[in-house]
Chains A and B, each alone.
Chain A
């Protein structure tokens, strides 16, 4: 089975309150909090499209954009 392909994180900065849940529970340590205490994508190349950050975010501030296997365009 082909893997999902990572296209990027879409982050709503003004919604992020910097709780750090996404950073702590990312299985690949992709995310970090920046100088302003907001989420930033430090290691995008390591993202495996599990979307746990998107699902756990209490602020609905994260969207992980990945292509489904067999499709050309980004699937949100």
Chain B
């Protein structure tokens, strides 16, 4: 199938701004689905609120557009009732880690088989450029006109500590890596977290004077390295890309099925 067979073409051109990284993530997601040979009816996209959440409206899979920050809770319900489906949850940085911070860590702790894609543009884009828990210390936002005094989360460290069994990071510049990591995350039998650095030229770019989409993509190219690169030793400010965690642990839906089966046997 061609990439365009997986989208709802009637909604294009999409509503994202020119140069928005979220479109590139959609692009890579469709290629990952094509590579894995998944059928449209075997995938559910469950999203919350924000620019990132609009992605579920553009894909021609089963889709649910739910409450701000609560997509993982809805997705847990979907997965528990239909464990055979591939559940993908695209989230913005604020949606995932501010409003949905608790859902995020507990979904990771439970190790329920679904894929959380954190589309990290370091700002609330849709509502006008407020700072998020992933906005760096000192960055500008409409709610931080003199610079942000908060410190940001490291999504990879947070997800790892919360117990996610697949944790990876890449950017919208590294497109081959992006579709490869999405495919790996979907295939993983457990809770997968993929952080994707994604440019918001309209709000983050303008407010922080870092230029347009092309300029931000160049920073992704120049300021990130693969895990284990020697360059990181020389320059600790570089952001690492790659698969940080990939481990096996009993999965929540399978544990639940085993529990039910065991109790039925004992009751007989």
Q: Does A58 contact B (CB under 8 A)?
A: yes
Given the complex, which residues of A lie within 8 Å of B21, measured CB to CB? 58
Q: Per a CB cutoff under 8 Å, which of B14, B18, B175 touches A18?
A: B18
Q: Does B148 contact A (CB under 8 A)?
A: no
Given the complex, which residues of A lie within 8 Å of B12, measured CB to CB? 12, 15, 59-60
Interface residues of A in 6-39 (CB under 8 A from B): 12, 14-21, 24-25
Closest chain A residue to B218 by CB distance? A24
**Cβ A60 vs Cβ B3 within 8 A:** yes
Given the complex, which residues of A lie within 8 Å of B175, measured CB to CB? 52, 55-56
Q: Does B26 contact A (CB under 8 A)?
A: yes
Tell me, in angstroms, the Cα distance from A55 to B217 when the chains sit together. 14
Q: Does B241 contact A (CB under 8 A)?
A: no
**Cβ A58 vs Cβ B27 within 8 A:** yes
Question: Number of contact residues on B: which range applies?
Answer: 20 to 34
Closest chain A residue to B24 by CB distance? A58
Q: Does A76 contact B (CB under 8 A)?
A: yes
Q: Does A41 contact B (CB under 8 A)?
A: no
Digitize B173-189: 1 where CB-to-A-CB distance is under 8 Å, 0 elsewhere: 10110010000000000
Q: Per a CB cutoff under 8 Å, which of B4, B13, B28 touches A55?
A: B28
Tell me, in angstroms, the Cα distance from A62 to B175 when the chains sit together. 15
**Cβ A21 vs Cβ B213 within 8 A:** yes
Please list the 10 inter-chain residue pairs (A to B) with the smallest Cβ-Cβ separation, ordered nearest first.
A58-B23, A19-B19, A17-B18, A55-B175, A19-B18, A15-B13, A24-B214, A58-B24, A19-B213, A15-B12
Q: Does B44 contact A (CB under 8 A)?
A: no
**Cβ A57 vs Cβ B214 within 8 A:** no
Given the complex, which residues of B lie within 8 Å of A58, measured CB to CB? 16, 19-24, 26-27, 172, 213
Tell me, in angstroms, the Cα distance from A15 to B4 when the chains sit together. 13
Given the complex, which residues of A lie within 8 Å of B31, measured CB to CB? 55
**Cβ B28 vs Cβ A21 within 8 A:** no
Closest chain A residue to B12 by CB distance? A15
**Cβ A76 vs Cβ B24 within 8 A:** no
Digitize A33-65: 1 where CB-to-B-CB distance is under 8 Å, 0 elsewhere: 000000000000000000010011111110100
Q: How far is the CB of B34 from chain A (nearest CB, A)?
A: 12
Q: Per a CB cutoff under 8 Å, which of A12, A15, A20, A63 touches B214?
A: A20
